[in-house]
A and B are shown apart, each in its own frame.
Chain A
Amino acid sequence: MLIDLREEYKRMGLPNNYWQLSDVNRDYRVCDSYPTELYVPKTATAHIIVGSSKFRSRRRFPALSYYHKDNHVSICRSSQPLSGFSARCLEDEQMLQAIRKASPGSDFIYVVDTRPKLNAMANRAAGKGYENEDNYSNIKFQFIGIENIHVMRNSLQKMLEVCELKSPSMSDFLWGLENSGWLRHIKAILDAGVFIAKAVSEEGASVLVHCSDGWDRTAQVCSVASLLLDPHYRTLKGFMVLIEKDWISFGHKFNHRYGNLDGDPKEISPVIDQFIECVWQLMEQFPCAFEFNERFLIHIQHHIYSCQFGNFLCNSQKERQELKIQERTYSLWAHLWKNRGDYLNPLFRDDPSQTQGTLHLPTTPCNFMYKFWSGMYNRFEKGLQPRQSVTDYLMAVKEETQQLEEELEALEERLEKIQKVQLNRTQVKSKQSEPSKHSGFSTSDNSTANTPQDYSGNTKSFPSRSPSQGDEDSALILPQDNLKSSDPDLSANSDQESGVEDLSCRSASGGECAPSEDSGKDPDSDEAVFLTA
C-alpha cells in the first residue's frame, strides 16, 4: 500500500491560487535533505527560494508542512537562519513575505523558534541564530523552549533507570520520574503544538516553525499541530501519511537518531518516540477522536528501531532514492494496513460534528494530565500492565454485533422473499375466491414459526436500560444505542480469572468473548428467530 504524498497535498487543496508545487529541488541540488517535491507560495520564485536556502542552516528553506483549507492558513517549516548577529538576506525576507501574502486575511505571520532562547542566542555566535523582528516585516517572533536532542537523550536514560528499579518505593518512583524531566518535555512539545494550532485555527495567522536544523523539534511540533487541527491525521491512513510527510520526506535523520548503524552515539535521541508519546497523551485526553489505538503506536515505534521495513532507513529522501529502498524493501504501512483490525479504536467517532475538527487541549489544570506511559516503557515486564484490554474486549463485542447485524439483514431479506412468495400464493388463492383474508401470510407454511410482525416488533424495540439503573454501566460502554444490553455476566464465573485477582503475577491475557455466554439473558424472540432459521 503506497502512501502518495501528492494525494495528500491534493486533499489539502493544493496547488491553488496561493501555493504551488516547486521542482526547484528536483535533483536535490538546492537542499539534499529535503524532498524533491515541495510546496511554496506562488510569489516565491526560484530565485527567492535559492537565495533563502543559502541563508538557512543545511539549506533548509521555508516550505509548506500543512495547509488549513478552512481559512487558507499554513504551517511552514525550515531551519534556523544564518543571521549571526547582524546578517541579512533579502531573498529570505522575501520568502517570509511570500508566506504571509499566501494567507490572505492575515497581516502577520508567527515565526516560532522551538528552542530555548539561550540556545538560540548561543547559536548566533556560530553565525546562525534567529529572525530579527526588525528585519522581517510583519512577523511576530516566539520562543517555545523545547530542549535539544542531548537533553532528551539523557532524560530518557534517567526515566528508564527509574523503570528498571527492582522494588521502588512510591517516593523513589515519583522523584525519579520528576528528575528525569521526561513528562515536562512531552508537555513542552504539546504546548508548542497547541500554540501553533491556536494561531492557525483561532487567530488565522500562518506560522513558520524552525529549530536549529529543522528536522527534530520542528518535525515534532508541526506534526502535533497538524494532528490537533485536522481529523484526517487521526485516522489510520492519515497518521501514516503524516509520518511519511513530516518525518520521512522532510529528512528526519532516522539512521542517526535511532542507531540503525554504528554511528555517533551523540546523534541518538528519542525524537520520534516523544512525538509518538504526545499522540498517546492526546489519545488519553480524547479517547473518541482517534481511529487507531495504543497498539498501533507501539508497533510503529517498535518498527522504527527494528529495521525490518525500509520506511525508516537512511537519513533523507535522497539517500533512499540512491539505495532504491522502495524497490528493495517492504513498507511498514502495507503490513500495518493488512492487520488494521488489531489497530482500531472501538470508541472512534468519525462523525465530523462529533470529532470537533480541531482538538482543544485544556490548558488548566494541566499538571496531572500527563501520565506515565507504562504501556510503552513497561511493556516487556510481566505483571505490570492492565491485564485486561478494554479495547480488545470492545472490539470483539463490536465485531460480534456487526456479525449479528449482518445475519439480521440476511434473515430479513430471506423473510421478504418468503413474504413475497406467500403473497403470490394468497393472491392465487383469492383468485380462486378464498373468502377470508389473512394478514397475507399462510400459516400452513411451516418454515416460519414467527409471523413477521413479531419479528419486526421485537427487533425494533430493543430493551433499553431502565432509568432506575442509572449509571451502573460497567467499564464497557457500548457505543450504539440500539445494541441489546449484552453485559457479561460478571457475578458468576468471570471469563478470565476464576475470580481471584492476582496482582503480583501475570494471568492469561484474555480477549475471549463473554457476550456469547449470556444468551440466556435475552428471552426475546431474537433467540427464537435463530432457532427457526
Chain B
Amino acid sequence: MELSDANLQTLTEYLKKTLDPDPSIRRPAEKFLESVEGSQNYPLLLLTLLEKSQDNVIKVCASVTFKNYIKRNWRIIEDEPNKICETDRIAIKGNIIHLMLSSPEQIQKQLSDAISIIGREDFPQKWPDLLTEMVNRFQSGDFHVINGVLRTAHSLFKRYRHEFKSNELWTEIKLVLDAFAQPLTNLFKATIELCSTHANDASALKVLFSSLIQIAKLFYSLNFQDLPEFFEDHMETWMTNFHSLLTLDNKLLQTDDEEEAGLLELLKSQICDNAALYAQKYDEEFQPYLPRFVTAIWNLLVTTGQEVKYDLLVSNAIQFLASVCERPHYKHLFEDQNTLTSICEKVIVPNMEFRAADEEAFEDNSEEYIRRDLEGSDIDTRRRAACDLVRGLCKFFEGPVTGIFSGYVNSMLQEYAKNPSVNWKHKDAAIYLVTSLASKAQTQKHGITQANEFVNLTEFFVNHIQPDLKSANVNEFPVLKADGIKYIMIFRNQVPKEQLLVSIPLLINHLQAESIVVHTYAAHALERLFTMRGTNNATLITAAEMAPFVEVLLTNLFKALTFPGSSENEYIMKAVMRSFSLLQEAIIPYIPSLIAQLTQKLLAVSKNPSKPHFNHYMFESICLSIRITCKANPAAVGSFEEALFMVFTEILQNDVQEFIPYVFQVMSLLLEMHKNDIPSSYMALFPHLLQPVLWERTGNIPPLVRLLQAYLEKGASTIASAAADKIPGLLGVFQKLIASKANDHQGFYLLNSIIEHMPPESVDQYRKQIFILLFQRLQNSKTTKFIKSFLVFINLYCVKYGALALQEIFDSIQPKMFGMVLEKIIIPEIQKVSGQVEKKICAVGITKILTECPPMMDTEYTKLWTPLLQALIGLFELPEDDTIPDEEHFIDIEDTPGYQTAFSQLAFAGKKEHDPVGQMVNNPKIHLAQSLHKLSTACPGRVGNS
C-alpha cells in the first residue's frame, strides 16, 4: 500500500462505511479493512487521515481504528509472524507523540491509549527516545501539551502499582526515575508557582490543576514499589507542597455540580492517597511529616460539605486517619480529649447523617440501598469510612469515645422525641452511631460477634427500637423501621432470646410494609433469626414457639411477594424456605395452598428467569414441601407429581436451561419417595433422558446422573423387562461421561448403579466391553480421580458378582491381566480411596479377593496375596494418601474451556448416602477376620505362613 492520495481516498470511503448503521454495508467494510491491515503503510495511512482529513468524523474514526489496530497487532508473539513491518513501527514511534500532542482531545485520548500499548511492549529498550521526548515537552510551557505528556506517562507508569518486583521492572523504574524524577519535580514546583500567579484566572487554573492531579498520580506510581532515593532526597519539596495544596481553596475551582467531583477534590483525594502510601510503607522516613498531614486532613474533613461530589475525598481522608490512629506510635496525636471530641463531633457524626442521596436510594433504588447497607458493598461510602474510624479510635480509646458518643446519642434522641416527623433523621443517626460503636466484629451468618462492653444493647433495644416497631402504622417513618429491623438482625446474638421472641410478631407484621426495604429487611431478619442455633445445635427458636404465628407468617410472606418490585425478592423467598424448614410438619395443613402458590410463581418466572437466588430458594422450598409432607404421608407424592409435572413438562419443552437441572433434582426426589416401583409416567420419560442433547450441558450432568440412578434403584427390573432396548443408550451415557476427565466420576456413579441394581443377565453381554472401555481410558489418560473411582467400581463388581468373576473377566480380556491390576493398581493405589462408604466397598471387595478367589491360593497370583493383605490393612490403618502427581495439580483449570450454566445443587433435594454393602457387612475389619478364619479352616496351614 502506497502512501498515496488514492489510497487515502479509498481508506476514507471504507472508514465511512464502517459507521453505517446498515450491517450489509458496515460488515463488508470492516472485513475489507481487516484484510488490508497487514499491508505496509496501512497504519501510516490511518495516522495521516487522523491528522489531515477534512472530515472530523473520519479523523476520530481513523484514530479509533488505529488504536484497535495497535491493540491487535503491536505485540510480537514468539513463533508467530511479526504483524507490523519494522519501518512502519519506527515511523509510528517517531510521529505519534507529536501527533498526540497536537490533536484535539478526542483523538488525543485514542493516541494516548495507543502509546501506552506500544510503550508496554517497546518501552524502554525499543523506544529509548520516548522519555527524553516527553521530558523535553515539559519545557514547552504549553500546559495542554504538558497534560498530554503527563497522561501518557501515567498510562505507562501506572503498572508499577500492581506488578511484582523483578529485576526487569526495577531496571525500568530506575531508568524512568533517572530521566523523569527531576524534571517532574521541577514541573511540580513551576506549576504550583503558576497557580499562584494565575490565582484569578479560572481557565488557567483548571489546566494547571489538571496537571497537578496527573503529577500527583505519577508520584504515586513512581513511589509505589519502594521509596526511590530521589524522592527521599526531595521529600521536603514534595511533602511541603502536597501539604499546602491540601489546605488550599480557591473559589474559582469550586464547581456547582453536586455529584461530580471537581479538580480540587480529585487532587486532594490523590494527595490523601499519596500520604497514606508513605505512612504505610515508608513510615520511618515519613514520620516527621505525618503529624502535619493528620492535622491538615482532619481540618479538611471539618470544612468539607455534605455533597456527593466530596464523597471520595472524604472517604479517602477518613480512611487515612483511621489507618494512622491504630498505630501505637501515633496514639499521642489523638489522645487529647479535645481532639477526640472534635473528631467525633466534627468528622464522624456529620458523616453518619442520612443524606438526601440516601433517602432517594431508599425510595427509588431499594436494591442498591440494600446491597450497600446489608451486604457491605459500602466500602467507599462516607458512613462506612466513619465507622472504620470509630473502630480505629476504639482500639486505644474505647471508653472515652463511647462516652463522647453517648452524649450525642442522647441529645439526638431528645431532638427526635421533640418532633419525630421533622427530626426522624436524628434518630437514624443515633441508631447508626450506636451500631457502629457497638459492633467490633461481624459476619453475615452470625451478625455481630463481638460487641463494645460499654454499650447496653438490650436497654437501647427495649427503649428505642421496639417502640418504633410496635407502632400500629407499619408505613410510618420507613427508614427508622428499617433501622430497627436491621438492629435486631445484627445484634441478634447480643439481645436475649425473650426479646427476640417479642420481636418475631413485629417482624412478621412488617412483612406487610409497603416500603421494599422494610419488608425485605423484615424477611431477612426472620430468616436470620430462624437460623440461629441454641443448645444441642438445635435452632434457637423452636417450631413450638412459632406455633401461634404459622398462619400469619406464611400468609404475610407470600403476600409480600405480591408487592410491586418484590415479585422475585430473594430475601423473601429465602425466608419462605427457612420458615418451611423450621416449622416442618406445622406447614402440612397449608401445603395445598402453598404448593399452588409456588407452582404459580414457578410458572411465572420460568418465562424469563432472571434472579438466580430467588429461583434457587423457590426450588428448595418446593423440595421441602415434598419431603415434609411425604415423610408424614408417603402417598402424598402423587399429588405433588400431579401439581408439578405440568409445569415441569412446560419447562422441559420450552428448554428453560436455568431450570432444567432443578427439575431433574426435584424429580429424583419424587421418584425416590416411591416404594420399590416406578410409575409409568416416569418410564415414558426414560428414553428422553438419554438424548445426547441433554448431556451436552454441563449443568445437567450431575442431576441427570442422579435421576438415572433413581430410575435404576426403583425400576431396574422394569427397565430390563420393558425397556431392554434402552440399555445400550444408558451405557452410551456412561461411555460419554467416562471419556471426560471432568465427568468420569459421574460415569462411575451411573455404572455402579447399573452393576448394583440391574439383573445380571440383562447386562451380561456388555460387561466385557465395559471393562475394555475402562482400560482404554486408563491407558490414555490416567488421573488420580479416575483411579479412585475405578478401584471402587471393581471392588463393587467383586462384591456383587464374586471375586472369581472379577478375576475371570480381567483374564478374559488378556491373560494375566488380573495380576497386573492387583500389582499395578490395587496394591499401590488403594490408599488413595476416600470416603467412608467407598473405603468400605474396597475393604469388602479385597477381602473377597483374598479369601474367596481360588486362583489367589494356587497360581502365580499367590505371590500377590500377602502384599494385597498388607494393602488392605493399610487401607484400614494408615491415613489417606492425598498426594497428587505434579502434572495433575492444575488439571481442572487447564481442562476448563469456560463453563456453561452452573449446576446448583439443591440442599433439600439431598440424597442420603447409599451403602451398597450395608446389609452384607457391618464392620469390614471383623468381616476380614472372619473371612480369613474361614479360609484358614478351608486351607489349613496356608494362611498363617504366607
Q: Answer whether A and B are interacting partners.
A: no
